[in-house]
Amino acid sequence: MRYTVSKTALIFLLIFALNYAQVVPCLAGTNSKKVLVAFLGIKFDDITPDLQKRLLERMMETIESNSSVQLIKPDDVARTIAAEKIAQMLAQPDTASMRGLAEQLQANYIIAGRIANRSQELQRVLLVGELNRFDRATNMLHRFEVLKYYDNFGVELVKFKQEYVETMGPARSSGKLSWVWLVLGGVTLLGIGAMALSSLKAGAEGEGAPPPDRP
């Protein structure tokens, strides 16, 4: 009877450890800190104010589509950084300036751009330029080229989102969860050992038992 109770308890403990190992990573994901992303804005050339506003709004919506991001909008950046400095970085982005700004804002990423209308048709707007993402952790400045009529600009935003927005996220350390798997492994080994010991004990008792009476 003692063997049956011990075996049942080990089975329940093993099931609990398996479930816990699956639940804890999910909880860790929901508690992960958000990454801070500063959007400096976009330098426009030959683009109407109304269209500039729509482009900025679409860019911010694209960045905020990543639930791991906490966005610092251009107006908020302008309250901290001088307008001349922002204009200079929008016109000629470079790694050193971006890093200095990222450290000043304590941002993980900085996004900026410059787009001009290069259309020869009055009724259509051809957007030509680039969007930039600076990664503070790697000190790298990425450039995403833009070349689309405004009617199809959504296609460029989808590509930019896939390559440079969805890839921004908090760093998750697996070391904090490794103890869960250590516990799980310990419980498994304990269960195997206990069952093996019980089998040996049962075998020994069987060998030492007196033979049955013959008729």
Question: What pLDDT is stored for residue 33 in this prediction?
Answer: 84
The sign of the dihedral angle between the CA atoms of 177, 178, 182, 187 is: positive
**Residues 6+ positions from 8 with CB-CB distance below 8 Å:** none
| Mean per-residue pLDDT of the chain | 80
Longest distance between any two alpha carbons in the chain, whole Å: 114
Q: 169: burial class by Cβ within 10 Å (0-12, 13-18, 19+)?
A: middle
Residue 27 is predicted with a pLDDT of 42
The C-alpha angle 129, 41, 88, rounded to 5 degrees, equals 80
**Pairing verdict, β 35-45 and 109-117:** parallel
Percentage, residues of the chain above pLDDT 70: 64
User: Quick one: average pLDDT of 21-25?
Assistant: 47
Task: Answer positive or negative: Cα dihedral of 76, 81, 85, 89.
Answer: negative
Q: Report the share of the chain in percent with pLDDT over 90.
A: 62
Q: What is the pLDDT of residues 83-139, one digit of tens each?
A: 999 999 999 999 999 999 999 999 999 999 999 999 999 899 999 999 999 999 999
Per-residue tokens: 16: 């609990």
Q: Is the dihedral of CA 52, 58, 63, 64 positive or negative?
A: positive
**Band (154; pLDDT cuts 50, 70, 90):** very high
First to last CA, the chain: 31
* Highest mean pLDDT of the ranges 30-44, 155-169, 176-190: 155-169
pLDDT, tens digit, 9 for 90 and up, residues 166-210 = 999 875 544 444 444 455 555 555 555 555 556 555 555 555 555
pLDDT at 25 over 70: no
